[in-house]
Each structure stands twice: as structure tokens, then as C-alpha cells.
């Protein structure tokens, strides 16, 4: 029964995606939408194979920016979430600022980072950090705050220190929430790097996308978007795999 449900979960989105692609193909091939405004799926795939050798450098640069910003945001999120969980005044002071920070459009801040730090890799990493930081820290903080109070009181009655309580109870109990935030941030990391590259640089998928868009090579632009999607899903699946391997109790919960 579980195998049938798993097959159904994979089959339904695959069939629906296939219907969308076929609709896209026949809409363009029938001439209802001109191919110079929306290339057909076949044209996009052909363009992808044509430009893939030239995109290796751009892919490497975007991945470097995205992963650097992603890992830095993880470290900062863990530190800040622990501080806010243990120091109430820090939570009251910082949490509202975190909310406010998400109301400021990143596209408005990115030009300032370029002006302050130049056209190198640093502005792109900062953009990725700003995009990824919020979902990770909020998810981890909620996970740390939702630990069973009776279990915490039991550990305290046994003389456990704060470090022992965190290592043995709070962090393991918050890992599901933590990985939920990581998966969200993982998909944002590639997007954040691309947004940073839109505003200038020497290489990267965002810069390449702007070049082909300005040349009206929309088949190449859609091919670049496809690569960005594949990269984002790869990072997402990698985080899911790490969660699966590092949380045996979570595997048991899913199998029940």
C-alpha cells in the first residue's frame, strides 16, 4: 500500500508536468504564440546543449556564491537562534528586526552592496545570506522553543547543564524544523546568487541570462533558467538526503 502511495505521489506531478510541457509545445508549434517571443521546449533543449560548454564557468561561479552564502547563513542562524532561545531580551530585541528585514526588497539593497563592495563575489554572497538567513533562523528558533517542557524539567532535575540539555534534548528535537528551514533556504540560495549577478559582475548565470535576454536569444535564456532550476533542486535534494541520513528517528516516523 505504501509503495502504491509513493508511486502515485511521483506519478501525479510527472503527468501534470508532462501535460504542461505538451500544452506549451503545441501552443508554440501551432503558431498561436510566436516562437521568437516564447521558444518551444525542443528549441530550449537544443539551446541548452549548444550553450552548456560555455556555461561551465558561469555555473561554477554561481554555485560558489550560492554555497558560500548558504553555509555562512547556516552558521549565523545557529548562533543567533541559540542566543535568542537562551536570552529573552535578545529575542525581544532581534526578532522584530528579523521580520522587518524581510519587508525590504533585496533588489533595492543589492545595488548598495555593489557600490560598497565592488563587482566581485562579496556582494553576491551577502545577497544570498540575506535571502537564506531568515527561514533558517526562524525555523530553528521555533524548533528550539517547542521542545517538551517536561523533558527539559527532567534534565534539569538530573543536574544537566545548559550545554548538555542543548546537545541531548533541544537540538535533536528541533532538527525537523531546522531542516525545513534549510530546504527552503537551499532553493533560495541559487536565486539569491542570480539576483546579485544581475547587478554586475564578471561571470555567473545571472550575468549570462541578462546578456542573452538583451540579445533577444530567449531560447538561451529559458535554457539558463532550466539550469538554475536543476541546480536549485539538486541543492534541495542534497539537504533532504542529509536529513534522511542524519535523522534515523525521522525515517522511522515516515515509515509508520
In the block, residue with C-alpha cell 554586475: 200
Q: Please name the residues in contact with 29: beta carbons below 8 A apart, sequence gap of 6 or more.
A: 40
Average model confidence (pLDDT) for the chain? 80
pLDDT at res. 71? 92
Inter-residue contact 231 to 178 (CB < 8 Å): no
- 214 or 239, greater pLDDT: 239
| pLDDT-above-70 percentage for the chain | 92
Mean pLDDT in residue range 21-43: 77
- 35 or 210, greater pLDDT: 210
What is the four-CA torsion angle of 41, 44, 49, 51, rounded to 10 degrees?
Answer: -170
Give the architecture-level CATH label for domain 39-255. Answer: Orthogonal Bundle (1.10)
pLDDT at 3 over 60: no
Q: Kindly report the CA angle at 134 between 133 and 137, in degrees rounded to 5? A: 80
Beta-carbon count within 10 A of 145 CB = 14
Separation of CA 179 from chain center = 11
pLDDT at 9 over 70: no
Inter-residue contact 218 to 37 (CB < 8 Å): yes
Q: For the chain, what are the domain ranges?
A: 1-35, 39-255
pLDDT at 40 over 60: yes
DSSP readout, 132-171? Answer: HHHHHHHHHHHHHHTS-HHHHHHHHHTT--HHHHIIIIIH
Q: Kindly report the CA angle at 176 between 100 and 8, in degrees rounded to 5? A: 110
pLDDT at 250 over 70: no
Note the pLDDT tens digit of each residue in 126-152. Answer: 888 888 888 888 888 888 777 777 777
pLDDT band of 252, cuts 50, 70, 90: low
- 208 or 116, greater pLDDT: 208
Measured distance CA(79)–CA(70) in Å, rounded: 15
Q: Model pTM greater than 0.75?
A: yes
- Distance (Å) of CA 53 to CA 23, 48, 58, 59, 60: 30, 9, 10, 10, 12
Q: Which of 128, 133, 72 lies closest to 102, judged by CA? A: 133
pLDDT at res. 90? 79
Beta-carbon count within 10 A of 151 CB = 14
Note the pLDDT tens digit of each residue in 93-129. Answer: 888 888 887 777 777 777 777 777 777 788 888 888 8
Amino acid at each position: 500500500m505504501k509503495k502504491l502511495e509513493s508511486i502515485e505521489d511521483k506519478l501525479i506531478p510527472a503527468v501534470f508536468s508532462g501535460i504542461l510541457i505538451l500544452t506549451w509545445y503545441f501552443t508554440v508549434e501551432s503558431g498561436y504564440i510566436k516562437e521568437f517571443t516564447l521558444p518551444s521546449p525542443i528549441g530550449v533543449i537544443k539551446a541548452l546543449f549548444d550553450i552548456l560548454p560555455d556555461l561551465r564557468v558561469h555555473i561554477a561561479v554561481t554555485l560558489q556564491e550560492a554555497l558560500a552564502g548558504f553555509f555562512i547563513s547556516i552558521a549565523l542562524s545557529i548562533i543567533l537562534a541559540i542566543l535568542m532561545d537562551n536570552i529573552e531580551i535578545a529575542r525581544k530585541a532581534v526578532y522584530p528586526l528579523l521580520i522587518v528585514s524581510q519587508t525590504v526588497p533585496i533588489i533595492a539593497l543589492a545595488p548598495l552592496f555593489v557600490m560598497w563592495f565592488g563587482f566581485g563575489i562579496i556582494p553576491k554572497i551577502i545577497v544570498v545570506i540575506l535571502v537564506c538567513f531568515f527561514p533558517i533562523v526562524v525555523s530553528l528558533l521555533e524548533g528550539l522553543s517547542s521542545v517538551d517542557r517536561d523533558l527539559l524539567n527532567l534534565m534539569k532535575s538530573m543536574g544537566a547543564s545548559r550545554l548538555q540539555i542543548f546537545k541531548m534534548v533541544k537540538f535533536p528535537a528541533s532538527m525537523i524544523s531546522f531542516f525545513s528551514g534549510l530546504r527552503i533556504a537551499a532553493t533560495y540560495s541559487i536565486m539569491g546568487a542570480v539576483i546579485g549577478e544581475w547587478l554586475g559582475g564578471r561571470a555567473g548565470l545571472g550575468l549570462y541570462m541578462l546578456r542573452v535576454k538583451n540579445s533577444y536569444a530567449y531560447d538561451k535564456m529559458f535554457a539558463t533558467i532550466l539550469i538554475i532550476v536543476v541546480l536549485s533542486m539538486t541543492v534541495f535534494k542534497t539537504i533532504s538526503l542529509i536529513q534522511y541520513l542524519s535523522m534515523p528517528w525521522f525515517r522511522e516516523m515516515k515509515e509508520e
